[in-house]
Amino acid sequence: MLKWSSMYGVTCRTLEEELVDAALNSETIAELVTVCFMYFFSLLHLNL
């Protein structure tokens, strides 16, 4: 199905590989992951 929809190539790389290619270093990637995690956690906490 992914090959049929031309999305197969998009799934061959990890998000980390894409972010490194976008000139983000591993420390910046780790910070982004932390911020996103905390944001979504706070949304879940508010909806309880």
Number of structural domains the chain divides into:
1
CA distance 21 to 48: 38
Is 2 a member of any domain? no
The pLDDT value recorded for residue 34 is 93
Whole domain around residue 16: which residue ranges? 9-46
**The model's pTM:** 0.53
The pLDDT value recorded for residue 7 is 62
What lies within 8 Å, CB to CB, of 20 at 6+ separation is 26, 29
Is 23 a member of any domain? yes
Dihedral angle at the C-alpha atoms of 27, 32, 38, 42, nearest 10 degrees?
170
The pLDDT value recorded for residue 20 is 84
> For 5-40, what is each residue's pLDDT tens digit?
566 666 677 777 888 888 888 898 889 889 999 998
CA distance 10 to 1: 13
CA distance 42 to 19: 24
Q: Of 23 and 47, which is predicted with more confidence?
A: 23
The pLDDT value recorded for residue 17 is 83
